[in-house]
Amino acid sequence: MRMKNKYRKSTPFGCNAGSRCSLSFVVWGLVGCVLLLHLYSLISHGDKLEGSREFHLNHFQLTRELEETQDEGFQIPPPRGKRSPRAAKRRPKRPTTLIEEFLDENSQFRHLFFPDQGTAIDPMMEAGNDSLHFYPGSMWLDTDGNPIQAHGEGFCMLRNWGCTTGTEKTRMVPHTMLTKKELHGGLTHLSVTELKIKVDIIGVSCYSSKDLWTWKNEGVVLAGEETDLTHDLYKLNVLERPKVIYNDKTGKYVMWMHIDDTNYTKASVGVAVSDYPIGPFDYLYSKQPHGFDSRDMTIFKDDDGVAYLIYSSDDNSELHIGPLTDDYLDVTRVMNRVLVGQHREAPALFKYERTYYMITSGCTGWSPNEAHAHAAESVMGPWETMGNPCIGGNKVSRDTTFFAQSTYVLPLPMLHGLYIFMADRWNPAALNDSRYVWLPMTVKGAADKPLDYNFGFPLWPRVSIFWHKRWKLPNGWNG
Ligand code: GAL
């Protein structure tokens, strides 16, 4: 063995080829290569990052202000002046809670929740500083100077414009029919809404806008029925949460809504159809989908054109979700039960990248409660609950969804990950004076809570709804 080694050549490093030294040479060579590769990938990744950083920077600059929450929320001001000696002897009055004040129509703090007409947003009068600003909870006037009647609304985006649906809760509005030319030439966004006074169905109203701030009343697109007691839309019945989607295959606009009788025992969905988003809609029928009771509901159209009905069922204890038929006029036989036992309603669905999200409320009638955000890999579930998305304000307002209830989430396609969260601040004493709470919402950042029924944190980002007393969309939101 020794003899053989004697004849081995020495390397410039003073080692013999094939010995331990050549092994270390190979190892060092490999390390060098790896370092070079790493350096190369850092440089090329740096280039890519530069691009995406630019995008995120712009995006960040645009939305940063909207993510700065306002902490001052609703607070009951301390009583003014001293209590009289007689009053002081009496048992101290139990302080009322904000919720009690909210629900008390005679509360002296009513204006905190339902600011009066003097503070109404009037796009026809506003110029300068207040232009294009949303004031959640304030009265909002249309271009005729009347309060907008678009409760439980939805929004239907089509090419460069869209339409929303909701109910009118005041009076019969004369129906205006626009031609297709007027529609495509002049309108950017349309709002169709649920219309009724207390329990009286007036119909579904429609508003249009180019900037989401100035709304023109397009009239009633589906009217209530005045005399026929057997009709689903008979004025003493219930029509809530109408939503419209466009069917690319049939070229029709299809409206789904919650149909009920005065006592909410019919628990059905209704379907109507139109050639135009601003109607008139032909009412087709109502049914209990999949044979189950159905109350609060929404519809969601996925990127592949498949649309889904989501409704609170089994006495609001769970949600049901199932695809619609190709023409969107009915449900198919496929249905999954989701969020079973969680008692959620007022669902508003949206999609971010490849994940589905939903905001829901608890079931406390017209009284506000805590919103939850949910997420799912597949729209059919299983859905995970991620907790309360509300940020800012104070604890009571966060726990009451800023005294409102979810109805719709509007994506802003030019601002990836930024949405408008749309909610109703119900005024049960005067439903026609219910207000709109529109707030900026993002999907980003780490989750702050482990998932329910699971010890892990979710893989998907946090959904956040930011409280603002006053805010506006960033410039460039619509391209
Ligand atoms: C709520 C529901 C509203 C309306 C109300 C009637 O729970 O979200 O849409 O139905 O009950 O009390």
Give the model's pLDDT for residue 313.
Answer: 98
Least confident piece of the model among 172-176, 331-335, 398-402: 172-176
Give residue 459 CA to ligand 1 midpoint distance, Å. 32
- Residues 270-289 have pLDDT tens digits of 999 999 988 999 999 999 99
- Residues 207-218 have pLDDT tens digits of 888 889 999 998
The residue among 85 and 201 whose pLDDT is bigger is: 201
- Probe target for ligand 1 pocket from 295, 359, 367, with the most ligand atoms within 8 Å of CB: 295
Q: What is the DSSP string of 375-403?
A: EESSTTS--EEEE--EESS-HHHHHTTTT
- Probe target for ligand 1 pocket from 167, 260, 297, 345, with the most ligand atoms within 8 Å of CB: 345
Instruction: Specify whether the CB–CB gap between 324 and 332 falls below 8 A.
Output: yes
Q: How confident is the model at residue 31 (pLDDT cuts 50, 70, 90)?
A: low
Q: Is the pLDDT of residue 102 over 60?
A: yes
Residue 446 makes CB contacts below 8 A (sequence gap 6+) with 457, 461, 462
- Residues 417-448 have pLDDT tens digits of 999 999 999 998 888 899 999 999 999 887 77
Average pLDDT over residues 246-256: 95
Q: Is the pLDDT of residue 206 over 50?
A: yes
Q: How confident is the model at residue 157 (pLDDT cuts 50, 70, 90)?
A: low
Average pLDDT over residues 297-325: 98
* Nearest atom of ligand 1 to the alpha carbon of 260: 10
Q: Is the pLDDT of residue 55 over 50?
A: no
Give residue 345 CA to ligand 1 midpoint distance, Å. 8
Q: Is the pLDDT of residue 51 over 50?
A: no
Q: Pocket residues for ligand 1 (CB within 6 Å)?
A: 152, 240-241, 296, 345-346, 363, 365-366, 405
Give residue 475 CA to ligand 1 midpoint distance, Å. 35
Q: How confident is the model at residue 14 (pLDDT cuts 50, 70, 90)?
A: very low
Q: Output the furthest CA–CA distance in the chain (Å, rounded).
A: 118
Give residue 365 CA to ligand 1 midpoint distance, Å. 5
Domains and CATH numbers, the chain: 96-342+403-436+466-472 (2.115.10.20)
- Residues 82-94 have pLDDT tens digits of 556 665 566 666 6
Give the model's pLDDT for residue 408.
Answer: 95
Query: Partners of 26 in the beta sheet?
Result: none
Q: How confident is the model at residue 188 (pLDDT cuts 50, 70, 90)?
A: very low
Mean pLDDT of the chain: 80
* Nearest atom of ligand 1 to the alpha carbon of 238: 10
Percent of the chain with pLDDT over 90: 53
Rounded Cα gap, residues 48 and 471, in angstroms: 33
Residue 13 makes CB contacts below 8 A (sequence gap 6+) with 21, 25
Least confident piece of the model among 14-18, 155-159, 163-167: 14-18
The residue among 157 and 424 whose pLDDT is bigger is: 424
Residue type, 229: L
- Residues 401-414 have pLDDT tens digits of 999 999 999 998 78
* Nearest atom of ligand 1 to the alpha carbon of 345: 8
Give residue 364 CA to ligand 1 midpoint distance, Å. 8
Residue nearest to atom 7 of ligand 1 (CA): 365
Q: Is the pLDDT of residue 34 over 90?
A: no
Q: How confident is the model at residue 155 (pLDDT cuts 50, 70, 90)?
A: confident
Give the model's pLDDT for residue 66.
Answer: 72
Average pLDDT over residues 43-57: 40
pTM higher than 0.85: no
Least confident piece of the model among 30-34, 380-384, 404-408, 470-474: 30-34
* Nearest atom of ligand 1 to the alpha carbon of 364: 7
Instruction: Specify whether the CB–CB gap between 294 and 271 falls below 8 A.
Output: no
Average pLDDT over residues 378-401: 94
Give residue 346 CA to ligand 1 midpoint distance, Å. 8
Give residue 27 CA to ligand 1 midpoint distance, Å. 71
The residue among 379 and 6 whose pLDDT is bigger is: 379
Q: How confident is the model at residue 46 (pLDDT cuts 50, 70, 90)?
A: very low
- Region for residue 62 given its phi and psi (left: phi exceeds 0; alpha: psi -120 to 50; beta: otherwise): alpha
